[in-house]
Amino acid sequence: MVLILRLFLTSSIHLLPDTVLICKITYTISVFSRDQMKKARSSRGAPAGTEIRKLDHIVPWDTLKAQVLAAISSALNPTTLVFEDYSITFTVPRQVTTPIQLNDDTKYDHLVEDALKIKKDANAKIVVEPKLVQPFQEQVTQNKENNEADNDNRKEKKRSRIPATRDILLANAALNAEIGKLRDKYICPTGRCPTGHCFVDPDDPDHFPLGNTHVESWAAAILKGPEFATIKKPPHDDLFNKINPIRLAARTPLLQRRAELRDKEKAANNTAPQINFNFPLDIANLFCPIPAALPPPPAVLDHNTSPMLIPASMIPGPALSIDDFCTQYDLDADICDRFKQHKFKGTKVFAYVALNDLKEMQFVGGEIAELKVAIAAWWAQILPA
């Protein structure tokens, strides 16, 4: 008896008439709300409610369970109180530092055994956390309703599946096919492009990343016809303006087709038989009248000395808006704004603009020079490839 009293000397102890040793265990029950559980553990703050219960160590598990439910009801006041809707764990100071689930008699016996190892003031901490899933009773009811609905509508139930090719519209199927070809062809060779796909022109080492929007626009242009785009040549729209616009414009499929037709015509003309007659020079001169004096050759117009923005010998390039022209040929925003300030809408009026007009519009020498370079590149677009 002395040894038993020494073991539990500092615990709250009282003896029954039959000398059974009874110890009191203090339970601190902390209850958290469902809203707190949605936050990070460090941001939850104090529990929604805290209850302290002192129970004999010999009380059954159902007694402690009832006390936990009472603490939940006091702190949260739920509509329905179901034990399975909560995650309940316990720790014991210096004995059980890692939380253990408290949900049956075995775990409860483990709690009591560890709590009694404390020499003074046997205690344990219980934490109650609502589960973020559907409450148990509501889940049982809903599962029952779902099972009944499944039995009634089993024949009409639609299974989600990947749509078959025959279910896809022909236009969408063709577009998806072109998108697949482009993605297969333009995989980034280095793997450094953020999208994993890029366009690398043979004459330009820079990678142009291809996103979903680029690929869809390119595929749609391919479906319109080769004069708009091919799998080797991207379309001419705002998404692809950064791909060396001057050189790409000069290599459009339409211009290449025209150049091929011209080459075929020249080849056809060269295949005609040629018959050459050679006469002595004296005899040939008898049949030739005395040639008239040749007129002086026309003066060659120097583009740099022309008073006009577009010299008379230069054919204007394709019609563009002022915004597109300045963007395509990398002109400063000041140049674009000054054109807009004087009500210029497009390039078709450039043929009537004199250099003096530009100076009156407050263009400085460097801006005029940049504009001439852009005009030359713009004019180069209509030249044969």
Entry field: residues in the chain: 385
Task: Give tens-digit pLDDT for 7-36.
Answer: 343 444 554 455 568 889 999 999 999 899
Class at the top of the CATH hierarchy for domain 2-130: alpha beta
Q: Distance between the two ends of the chain, CA-based, in angstroms?
A: 111
Q: Do 57 and 23 contact (CB within 8 A), yes or no?
A: yes
Does the reported pTM lie above 0.75? no
Task: Give tens-digit pLDDT for 211-244.
Answer: 899 899 999 999 988 888 898 888 877 787 766 5
Domain residue ranges in the chain: 2-130, 168-255, 303-380
- Strands 198-199 and 21-31, by their bridges, are unpaired
CA gap 21, 314 in Å, rounded: 114
Helix residue spans in 158-316 (DSSP H) = 170-185, 212-224, 245-250, 253-270, 281-286
CATH code: domain 303-380 is: 1.10.150
CA gap 80, 67 in Å, rounded: 16
pLDDT band of residue 384 (cuts 50, 70, 90) is: low
120 DSSP β-pair partners: 10
**DSSP letter for each residue of 330-342:** T--HHHHHHHHHT
CA gap 169, 175 in Å, rounded: 10
Tokens coding 346: 């497009």
Is residue 138 scored above 70 in pLDDT? Answer: no
